[in-house]
Amino acid sequence: MGGTWYWNRYPGIACDVESFVYMPLLEELGYMPTEKYAKGAEIFAHCRAIAEHYDLYRDACLRTDVYEIRWEKATSRWIIRTNHGDEMRARFVSMANGYQAKPKLPGVPGIGSFRGKTFHSSRWDYGYTGDKLEKLAGMRVGIIGTGATAVQCVPHLAAATEHLYVFQRTPSSVDVRVNRPTDAQWVNALRPGWQRERIQNFQILTSGGQAEEDLVADAWTSITRKLPVMRHDRNGSSAHDIELADFAKMEEIRARVDEIVADRAAAEALKPWYGYFCKRPCFHDEYLQTFNRDNVTLVDTRGRGVERITEAGVVVDGVTYELDCLIFATGFEVGTDYCRRTGFELIGRGGVKLTDRWRDGVRTFQGLCANGFPNCFIESIAQAGLTVNFPYLLDVQASHAAWIIAWALAGGGTEVEASPGAEAAWVDTVVARSAATAERARTCTPGYYNREGKADAKTRQGSFFFGAPTEYADILKAWRVKGDMEGLEIRGPGAGP
């Protein structure tokens, strides 16, 4: 239980989206986060509390890997095979495997030759580092990667090690976070329904909309005010105006680097020179300050990445940085085959594999159902609504899938499956709506947003369903209200609305 918060337990881990909108079911469980931006341990504990509250452990198969999910036509059931030899049968399957679940290692020559300790940040080895990193005392530690994970763990590594080397390909934009304890007086004044209202308000303001009040009031929600490119209506802003606004925002980020980092060479290297949403924005109040420490060296590779890894350490520009421990904060696979990222193959009607079905790009209806894969719901961000708050999207999708399942169980039909026409129309809409972001993606520095600089037609097809802030959720809701199941093929007893 816990998903990403089970696997990711590196020092300093926290959510960069406000706890009160990120952590689900707070009112239902009667829980209030202790900080505006909760630490990973608190979020993980809340995930487990949800599982206990709703008795989810009773039917959970922990420490179990799925090897294959295959459709059986004769029984209209999915057969789920696991590493324990199980063959479970299910009428419906909902796959919420996580958009970023498979750790990614860099394609650096000699990556397997280093004789010291190595591990990925999402598989942190506390047996080696010590629970409080006390075992790193006196050690030379290197970390490759300067994305959101490194921004959070670098300050802790710097405080624990003899010397820390931070190997940077491209700097992140690091804005203020200003974390603080939860105000008890504010909590006592909340009315029932406050969390859903706050989540909706945050979604509107971070996805291009306008609201009379900014309930969260942080760096995320200020983006729409400062960047016309984020506004859904854009108020007639020209491309030139949008570019100038983006540049002004990035100038703020770069000015903050100058204010904090004393060494001029390091400060220049830490300044991001790209559009604001070329990479996921970061927010932290200790990361930049870390580079003022005498035991921290920023090794800037000027966009090229490290040269190679040897038995002794990491090589950049012909210089070997000798290390005792090397940590890969290099993120997760994005854009690779869905079944490669999940670790199992989904095999639908006629023995067709999802990998083959999506060879030329993701194909869904409503960002959930795929033709050829009946009674199956694929929950991810691909072809679904734009958000920076993933639990919001999961709630929208899970509610929609549950409604369809309930309809079928009530006698609507044995099988529900996206029709070819509806799927094609949804894909065409996604591709058309992603056109506005295509050129921007091509001009960005390499990163997971543009598939390491490979922003092609296939990438666009697997992008968000771009639209008004809550348009995706509104479309699904209107579809349910209409109730005629348009876009789905219904088979079996009771088939049809």
Q: Are 26 and 20 in contact (CB under 8 A)?
A: yes
Are 430 and 346 part of one and the same domain? yes
Are 157 and 270 part of one and the same domain? yes
Are 403 and 373 part of one and the same domain? yes
CATH for 387: 3.50.50.60
Report the residue count for the chain. 497
Structural domains counted in the chain: 3
SS3 label, residue 127? helix
Q: Which of 294, 307, 228 is nearest to 263 (CA)?
A: 294
Are 376 and 390 part of one and the same domain? yes
**So what's the pLDDT on residue 455?**
67
pLDDT in tens, the chain (497 residues): 778 898 899 999 999 999 999 999 999 999 999 999 999 999 999 999 999 999 999 999 999 999 999 999 999 999 999 999 999 999 999 998 877 677 888 899 999 999 999 999 999 999 999 999 999 999 999 999 999 999 999 999 999 999 999 999 999 999 999 999 999 999 999 999 999 999 999 999 988 888 899 999 998 888 776 665 555 555 555 677 778 888 888 999 999 999 999 999 999 999 999 988 888 899 999 999 999 999 999 999 999 999 999 999 999 999 999 999 999 999 876 767 777 778 889 999 999 999 999 988 999 999 999 999 999 999 988 899 989 999 999 999 999 999 999 999 998 889 999 999 999 999 999 999 888 777 777 778 777 676 676 667 777 888 888 888 899 999 999 999 999 999 999 998 766 54
Structure tokens at 91: 């009428």
**So what's the pLDDT on residue 448?**
67
Q: Are 276 and 388 in contact (CB under 8 A)?
A: no
| Pairwise CA distance, residues 156 & 150, whole Å | 10
Are 377 and 264 part of one and the same domain? no
Q: Which residues contact 38 (CB under 8 A, 6 or more apart)?
A: 14, 15, 19, 22, 23, 46
Are 388 and 449 part of one and the same domain? yes
Is 156 within a domain? yes
Are 143 and 227 part of one and the same domain? no
Is 47 within a domain? no
Is 33 within a domain? no
| Pairwise CA distance, residues 488 & 417, whole Å | 5
| Pairwise CA distance, residues 156 & 12, whole Å | 7
Is 226 within a domain? yes
Is 48 within a domain? no
Are 321 and 345 part of one and the same domain? no
**So what's the pLDDT on residue 234?**
54
Sheet holding 163-168, edge to edge: 117-120, 325-328, 140-144, 163-168, 296-300
Alpha helices in 274-353 (DSSP H): 287-290, 338-342
- How far is CA 158 from each of CA 45, 82, 111, 165, 289, rounded to the nearest angstrom? 27, 42, 23, 9, 11
In whole angstroms, what separates CA 51 from the centre of its chain? Answer: 22
Q: For residue 472, give its domain range.
A: 76-102+340-491
Is 24 within a domain? no
Are 382 and 444 part of one and the same domain? yes
**So what's the pLDDT on residue 116?**
96
Are 304 and 414 part of one and the same domain? no
Are 320 and 347 part of one and the same domain? no
Is 71 within a domain? no
Are 145 and 274 part of one and the same domain? yes
* Sole residue written with tokens 């490194």: 150
User: For residues 301-326, b (16+ Cβ closer than 10 Å) or e, as one string?
Assistant: beeebbbebbeebbbbeeeebebbbb
Is 182 within a domain? no
**So what's the pLDDT on residue 102?**
79
Structure tokens at 207: 């996805």
Main-chain phi, psi angles of 68, to 5 degrees = -165, 145
SS3 label, residue 494? coil
